[in-house]
Amino acid sequence: MSSWNSPVQDTVLPTTNPYGNYTVVDTVPESMLHMVHSHWYQFPPMNPLWYGLLGFWMTVMGTLSVAGNFVVIWVFMNTKSLRTPANLLVVNLAISDFFMMVTMTPPLLVNAYWGTWVLGAFFCEIYAFFGSFFGCVSIWSMVFITADRYNVIVKGVSAEPLTSGGAMLRIAGTWAFTLAWCLPPFFGWNRYVPEGNMLACGTDYLTETELSRSYLYVYSVWHGPPTSSSTGEACSTSPLSLFSPSGAPSSKANAVYNPIVYAISHPKYRAALEKKLPCLACATEGRDGGSDAGSTTTAETSEKTESA
C-alpha cells in the first residue's frame, strides 16, 4: 500500500520540475522540458502500478499484433490464389499495422519501466512521426477496403472491378499523401511533443498559436483529429484519452484485431493458413456452415467481379 499512496515513483531519475509540486513532469529529462506544455504541470504523478500494467498490456498487444500481421503478410504473399487486387489492400493494412507496433511498442516499454520519456528529444519526434504516419496509413487502408467491399456487395457483378493497377495506385497514394501531412511538424508547422503521461509523444494540440492550430484544422479535414501517436491510431482517438493509462492500450488493440477482421474472416485465407501453418488454422470442419457459406459467397462474388 505504501507504493500506492506514494506521490513519487521509486526511481533514480532526478526531478526537473521548476514549480516545486509533485507532477507527472517531475522526472522528464531537462533537455526535453522545452517540449512539455505547461498544461501538464497541474497533474500529479501516475501511480507506479499503472506503468507496470501498461507495460504488461503493451507486451501482449505488441506480440499478438506483430505475429498476427506478419502471418497475414506471409500467407497472402506466398499463396498465388490470394494475390488479388482487393487483397493487396489487406496486405497494405497488415504492413502498416506491423510496422506501427514494431516502432511503437519497444520505446513505450522502455519508458514505462522508467516512468517517463528517457529516449531524448529527437527520438520523441521520430516516435511521434511513426505513430502518426503508420496510424493514418492503416486508417486510409481500411477506408479503401471498406469502399471496395461495399462496391462488390451492393453492386455485385455489375460493379466496376478493382484492378491491380487501381489497388497499387490507392496504396501508393495513401503512403505519399500521409507522408506529406506527417512531415510538416519537423519544419515548424505544429510540432511533435511528449504526451500527458510522458511515456509517448504525439502531435501538439495544446499550443494556441494560429500557425499550430492551422495544421490541426487542415489535418482534421483529411485524416480526422490528430492526437496521440502513442495510441498508434493517431487519427481516430480522443484527446481525452491521452492522460488516461487506458488510452494507449485500448487503441493499439486495432492492430491486433485487424488481421482477424480483414484476413482470418476470408475463407480462402483460412484454407491457405491450414496448409502452411496447420497449428494456427481455424478449425471449421463439422461446424454449421452458414456463416462460412455467406463469407464464401461474398469472396467468390468479389473474385468474379475482379476477373470480369
pLDDT of residue 307: 45
The length of the chain, given as a count of residues: 308
CA distances from 296 to 12, 86, 132, 276 (A): 58, 15, 35, 20
Residues 6+ away with beta carbon under 8 Å from 287: none
pLDDT of residue 256: 83
pLDDT of residue 123: 95
Closest CA to 68 of 259, 277, 279, 270: 259
Q: Determine the residue type at 2.
A: S
pLDDT of residue 237: 36
CB 104 within 8 A of CB 252: yes
pLDDT of residue 22: 79
CB 228 within 8 A of CB 234: yes
DSSP the chain: -HHHH-SS-S-SSPP--TT-S--TTTTS-GGGGGGS-GGGGGSPPPPHHHHHHHHHHHHHHHHHHHHHHHHHHHHHHT-GGG--HHHHHHHHHHHHHHHHHHHHHHHHHHHHHHTS--S-HHHHHHHHHHHHHHHHHHHHHHHHHHHHHHHHHHHGGGSPPPPHHHHHHHHHHHHHHHHHHHSGGGGTSS-EEE-TTSSSEEE--S---HHHHHHHHHHHHHHS----GGGS-TTT--GGGSSSTTHHHHHHTHHHHHHIIIIITSHHHHHHHHHH-GGG----TTS--HHHHHHHHHHHHHHHHHH-
First to last CA, the chain: 67
Rounded to whole angstroms, how far apart are CA atoms 101 and 76?
Answer: 20
pLDDT of residue 16: 58
**Residue ranges per domain, the chain?**
2-284
Q: Over its length of 308 residues, how does the chain's per-residue pLDDT go in tens digits? A: 444 444 444 444 565 555 555 788 888 888 899 999 888 988 888 888 989 998 998 999 999 999 999 999 998 888 888 888 989 999 999 999 999 999 999 999 999 999 899 999 999 999 999 999 998 999 999 999 999 988 888 887 777 888 999 999 999 999 999 999 899 999 999 999 998 888 999 999 899 899 989 998 887 776 655 544 443 333 433 333 333 333 455 556 788 888 888 777 778 888 888 887 777 665 544 444 444 444 444 444 444 444 44
Write the CATH number of the domain with boundaries 2-284.
Answer: 1.20.1070.10
